[in-house]
Structure 1
Amino acid sequence: MDGKFVAYYRVSTAKQGESGLGLEAQKAAVEAYLNGGKWNLVGKFVEVESGKRKNRPQLNAALALCKKQKATLVIAKLDRLARNLHFISGLMEYRTEFLAVDNPPANRLTVQILAAVAEEEARAI
C-alpha cells in the first residue's frame, strides 16, 4: 500500500471505549492492512460515539486532515465510519477517499449497498 492515510477508529459506547477491545481490533485490522507498504499514517483519531450521529468532532478532524494532506481515510469496517447511507454517499460525492480494510476492493455500488445494510442494522439496534 502506498500513499498517505488517516486512521479513524470508533466504538459506540463508553464501555466499549474503556475496555479497548473494539478499538484494539480495529487498530490491528488497519495496521495489518497497511503493513509492508510505502505509506505514511499522518494521523489517528479515536471516537466513542454512535454511528448514527452526524456531528462527530474526531471524524470531522480526521476528514479535515485527509483534505489537507490529500490522504485517504482508513477504517477497519464501513460501519465504524457511519451507519448512514446519506452520509456515506455524501463523502463519495465530494470525493473524500476512504477505504474499509475489511473490503478494500469495494466499488461505489458495493459501498452504498453495505452502507444501506449498516443503516438498517442501526435501526434494528
Structure 2
Amino acid sequence: MENCKFVSYLRVSTVRQGTSGLGLEAQRAAVAVFLNGGDWILVQEVLEVESGKSNDRPALATALKLCRKHRATLVIAKLDRLARNVAFISNLMESGVEFVAVDMPQANRFVVHILAAVAEQEAEAT
C-alpha cells in the first residue's frame, strides 16, 4: 500500500451519535491509526449524518467520485458505518472503487459479504 491515496468516509445516523463511541471522532481516530506511519495521502475526509438504511447518500456519492478522480481507496472505520445492507455493499464492490474497513483491513470479498449479512441481520433485529 505504498504511495496510496485514500478518501475517508465517516458516517453517523444522528447528531447524537456524534458524541457516542460510534461518533465521528472515534471513526476519525480509527482511520488516523490505520493511516499512521505509511507513505499515504489522505485526499479528503467526507462526513455524513444519514441513516445506514438509506441508499440515498449524497456524501458517499461525493466520496466515491473523489476516489475515482484521484484513483484513491475509500477508507472507513467499520463496515457497518458504510451500510448494513448486503445489496448495497455488493453494488459498491462492483462499482470499481476499492474500499477498506480499518477494523478488518485484510478482509477479502467473501468475508466482506458475510460481515455485511451479519450487519444487515443486526439492523433488522433492532
Residue 81 of structure 1: aligned partner: 82
Which residues of 2 match residues 1-125 of structure 1 at below 5 A? Answer: 1-2=1-2, 3-17=4-18, 19=19, 22-125=23-126
SS in 2 for 1:33: helix
Q: 1:94 Cα shift? A: 2.4
Q: 1:15 Cα shift? A: 1.2
Query: Partners of 2:54 and 2:44 in 1: how far apart?
Result: 22
Query: Partners of 1:27 and 1:78 in 2: how far apart?
Result: 14
After TM superposition, the score normalised by the length of structure 2 is 0.93
Q: 1:20 Cα shift? A: 6.7
Quote the RMSD (CA, aligned, Å).
1.2
Alignment deviations for residues 46-73 of structure 1 (CA, whole Å, 9 cap, x no partner): 1111111111111110011001111000
SS in 2 for 1:32: helix
Alignment deviations for residues 83-115 of structure 1 (CA, whole Å, 9 cap, x no partner): 111011111122210000000000110000000
Aligned length: 124
SS in 2 for 1:46: strand
Query: Partners of 2:74 and 2:47 in 1: how far apart?
Result: 13
Query: Partners of 2:124 and 2:59 in 1: how far apart?
Result: 23
SS in 1 for 2:51: coil
After TM superposition, the score normalised by the length of structure 1 is 0.94
Residue segments in structure 1 that go unaligned for 5+ positions in a row: none
The one-letter amino acid paired with 2:76 is I
Query: Partners of 2:78 and 2:84 in 1: how far apart?
Result: 11
Residue segments in structure 2 that go unaligned for 5+ positions in a row: none
The one-letter amino acid paired with 1:80 is R
Query: Partners of 2:33 and 2:40 in 1: how far apart?
Result: 13
Alignment deviations for residues 28-59 of structure 1 (CA, whole Å, 9 cap, x no partner): 10000100111110010111111111111111
Runs of 4+ in structure 1 over 4 Å off: none
